[in-house]
Copies of this chain bind each other. A is one copy, B any other.
Amino acid sequence: MTRDKINKTLSPPPLFIVISGPSGVGKDAALDKMKKAGFPFHYVLTATTRPKRQGERDGVDYQFLSEEKFRQMIKTNQFLEWAKVYGNYYGVPKREIKEALKAGLDTIVKVDVQGATTIKQILPDAVFIFLMPPSIGELANRLKQRHGLSSPDLDLRLNKAQEEIESLPLFDYVVISHTDGLDLTVTQINAIVTAEKCRLKPRVVTL
């Protein structure tokens, strides 16, 4: 093994990390906690056409777009992946990821399980982390809090979550999204990134 190769091993290329899991599992909460803890990642902003929820800000929580703008970006191939979910468009803008990786930043993106499946086909060397609810009952509780007990969305989402758990095999890691604070969840995600950076055979993502 040449010294060049060794040096290369020791300064690994930036990682592209895909955080996924069922709706309601706590993806946003986990990422918020990581941002607040100051983990040095580039967090990719998802674009969406869904209405802002209370407290959400454009350019901070999502990139809120009109349907017209979103469709135009689809046409010009500007999304790594996009989907229409529960009547709204969601998409991961390609350019932002390209620029972050080029700048050498570990880049993290949050997508639904269908999105992760698509990204796996395009970038198999990304790091795929599945956020798993502690139980389906616990997931139901969280969704009830958000959508209300009698919401027609509830059953739809729970059934979908069960389906999504079937996609587990495409992921590299599974991390439980614990109810009582996300400290352990965030510690585990951070450990995964640290470990991946020590891998002898680094993953190389080219976009």
Binding site for B on A (CB under 8 A): 1, 6, 9-10, 129-130, 132, 165-166, 168-169, 171-176, 187-188, 190-192, 194-196, 198-200
Contact = CB atoms under 8 A, between A and B. Distances in A.
Given A175-B198, A187-B194, 13 more contacts: A1-B169, A6-B168, A168-B200, A172-B199, A172-B200, A173-B199, A174-B198, A188-B194, A190-B191, A191-B191, A191-B198, A192-B195, A192-B198
Nearest to A128: B200
Contacts of A1: 165-166, 168-169
A171 B200 contact: yes
A80 to B, nearest CB: 22
Contacts of A173: 195, 198-200
A174 B200 contact: yes
Contacts of A172: 199-200
A129 B198 CA distance: 9
A132 B176 contact: no
A1 B199 CA distance: 28
A124 to B, nearest CB: 14
Contacts of A169: 1, 200
B194 A10 contact: no
Contacts of A198: 129, 173-175, 188, 191-192
A132 B190 CA distance: 22
A200 B191 CA distance: 15
